[in-house]
Amino acid sequence: MTYPKLKPCPECGQEMTLFQYESGWWRAECDPCPETVGGIYIGSCEGRKLDAIRAHNSRTAPERNDQ
């Protein structure tokens, strides 16, 4: 299975990293953020890697509805 590319951090523009916690939850995090915005940017916690990517991507770049 292929996953969508994780979009850059909406705060600092740098690449996000996906973490899986021991509990099994997935979450996108931005490590450079603590210095740039005073706090680490984190995506929402999801039970599946794919959902964590989707949740972050949709939050970062809302789908455009030009029509």
Residue ranges in contact with Zn ion by CB under 5 A: 9, 11-12, 30, 33, 41
Q: Provide the minimum distance between the beta carbon of 16 and Zn ion in the complex, in angstroms, as a whole number.
A: 7
Alpha-carbon distance 56 to 9, whole Å? 9
User: How many degrees, rounded to 5, is the angle at CA 59 between CA 41 and CA 13?
Assistant: 50
Q: Provide the minimum distance between the beta carbon of 63 and Zn ion in the complex, in angstroms, as a whole number.
A: 22
**Whose Cβ is closer to Zn ion: residue 32's or residue 51's?**
32
**Whose Cβ is closer to Zn ion: residue 26's or residue 43's?**
43
Q: Provide the minimum distance between the beta carbon of 1 and Zn ion in the complex, in angstroms, as a whole number.
A: 27
- Which residue, among 49, 59, 2, has the nearest Cα to 25 in the 3D structure? 49
Distance from CA of residue 3 to its chain's centroid?
A: 13
